[in-house]
Amino acid sequence: MTEREMKYSQGVLVTGSFEEGHFHQGILALNQLRMPGITPSPEHIRLLLYIAMYPEPSPEDPLKEQERQKKLDAMSPTKQIEEYNRELEIEATIPSMEATKAARDLLYLYTTDSISPEAILRAVPCYQLSETEIRNSPRLVNEGSLYWDEKEAKDMESWAAKDAKKLTQCKDCWSMLRPEVIKRRDAHKPLKKMTTFDDLRDDEIGLISTDIIAKDSWHVLYCLVLFFEKDEELANKSRQGNGYSIFLLSQFKPINSSSGMIRSDPAPAVEIVFLCYQQSENWKRQIGRKLLILLISLTSAQTFHSPALMDAISTRLLECPHDVVVSILTDIPCHPRARAAKISICEQYLAKNLRVTTEIMTRARPQPRGQRRDQIDTSVSPFSWSLPSSKRILGFIEPSSNLRSIQSPNLGTIFYVLFHLLITFGTFIKATSDTDPYWSEALHNGQLEQLIEETFTDKHLSSEESKVVKSYNYLLSKIITNWKQNLP
């Protein structure tokens, strides 16, 4: 469907309401203008995002309130009236909690509409895509629809609209969500020079807050992830699988390398994934699950540095409690690319836990080469990172492995990851058209069963953990029997 931005005459009521501080009324008007083929203006979307993230009022500090009351009591009646009117004037410029809720609801409605993701996401901060990335995009996108030219913006006069310009000074959507970006205006204080996001140096931002998502920005994060999902779904329909969100790709900083431009810093998004998984509310944990799957899909993009993603996830897993590790490994999908990612993540987690030196491969597309005994055929698994060999995988359960003697409070989690690694790797090998000689030999001569039997024992484990590890042993033996039946 061809889309066009709503005409000025259509959006004039929305603009007028926003300029006069009637934010809730403006959002209701914007909602009424939702119709197929008509997109809201970027200015309206930016202000909608701002209102949706606007901090709710904090509880009054009794001591501060007493101090304020003392100052008012010391004023003449005329001064008191002036101060009261000044506070009312400031409060009229601040989005109400009712307006914030309406903004969040409308953003969510946009995720369910037929409106294209770019109609909303072009108002979100991002890094510019290269011509190659646009040309190789999994779905056809108009370069003009990817970005919003700020020079063409029709400035609104309200204080909130001017303050919302901070969003355009953020580098990506992750920084837009931080607590220091949007601060609630205090009606009890005189209005000072507006601080923009540019006034904060990068090294200062980390000192301002340890939080990476403001408590009032979670709903916007949820909607952004839904838009990225929508973008990927359209890409999958266009490419018939192996699609990814081109807009999510634009959220990662590009750097120049010897092999060309790559996007190699997934850390901000990975940190958000793990933060989501640690939340008590289920809907926030679902954000983490959705974003994790989107990041794995992004490994299909030629300029996305997949090894950096595997490294970041495996490193963060080391710091996580058992239940988070279980949730993340369980949530990784079962398609070939996701299985390959899971193999790499599990292998790196175990290597780091067992102090085994691992080498994170530099980003390079697999090149045709002779098949080696201890390496998966890259023609069968053409991913943008090198998978660990079967010899490497079996090395974790051989007699010389540190796993046989390690004593760690995380031993139960280590066994869980090892269990997932063996099952995922074996399933991956089974699904390939060619066999892996080293793995097939270990299956055929019973070596794999023996090594698993010797490794998955109850040494150094609590009674409860021992039962779980024995169940891994039992399940693996059943699965191995099935694998053997499919040997040539």
Condensed to tens digits (0 to 9), the pLDDT of residues 61-85 reads: 555 556 656 665 677 777 666 655 5
Q: Which domain holds residue 182?
A: 4-57+89-207
Q: Report the candidate in 157, 186, 187, 162 with the shortest Cα–Cα distance to residue 85.
A: 187
**Residue 215 placed within a domain:** no
Per the CB < 8 A criterion, the answer to whether 407 and 460 are in contact is yes
Task: Look at residue 256 and give its three-state secondary structure.
Answer: strand
CB-based contacts of 424: which residues, under 8 Å, 6+ apart? Answer: 339, 342, 343, 346
What pLDDT is stored for residue 296 in this prediction? 97
Residues of the chain where predicted confidence (pLDDT) is lower than 70:
1, 59-73, 79-92, 143-145, 147-157, 186-210, 240-241, 258-259, 355-384, 404-407, 433-435, 458-460, 488
**Residue 136 placed within a domain:** yes
Same domain for 184 and 37, yes or no, is yes
Per the CB < 8 A criterion, the answer to whether 484 and 441 are in contact is no
**Residue 266 placed within a domain:** no
Of 207, 224, 249, at which residue does a domain stop? Answer: 207
**Residue 263 placed within a domain:** no
Same domain for 191 and 340, yes or no, is no
Q: Report the candidate in 339, 341, 337, 317 with the shortest Cα–Cα distance to residue 327.
A: 317
Helix axes 306-317, 336-353, angle to 10 degrees: 50
Same domain for 203 and 333, yes or no, is no
CB-based contacts of 16: which residues, under 8 Å, 6+ apart? Answer: 26
Same domain for 483 and 343, yes or no, is yes
Same domain for 168 and 39, yes or no, is yes
**Residue 239 placed within a domain:** no
d(CA 312, CA 331): 17
What pLDDT is stored for residue 194 in this prediction? 39
Per the CB < 8 A criterion, the answer to whether 158 and 18 are in contact is yes
d(CA 165, CA 170): 9
Same domain for 193 and 339, yes or no, is no
Same domain for 161 and 18, yes or no, is yes
**Residue 219 placed within a domain:** no
Tell me the residue type at 92. Answer: A
Summarize pLDDT for 184-228 with one digit per residue, the tens.
Answer: 875 444 444 434 334 443 444 333 345 899 999 999 999 999 999
d(CA 418, CA 349): 9
End-to-end CA distance of the chain: 51
Is beta strand 38-39 parallel, antiparallel or unpaired with respect to 254-257?
A: unpaired
Per the CB < 8 A criterion, the answer to whether 448 and 442 are in contact is yes
What pLDDT is stored for residue 374 in this prediction? 41
Same domain for 186 and 44, yes or no, is yes
**Residue 104 placed within a domain:** yes
Of 207, 231, 263, at which residue does a domain stop? Answer: 207
Number of domains in the chain: 2
**Residue 471 placed within a domain:** yes
What pLDDT is stored for residue 367 in this prediction? 37
Of 155, 176, 207, at which residue does a domain stop? Answer: 207
Same domain for 11 and 154, yes or no, is yes
Same domain for 197 and 332, yes or no, is no
Q: What is the DSSP letter of 153?
A: -
Summarize pLDDT for 331-369 with one digit per residue, the tens.
Answer: 999 999 999 999 999 999 999 987 643 333 333 333 333
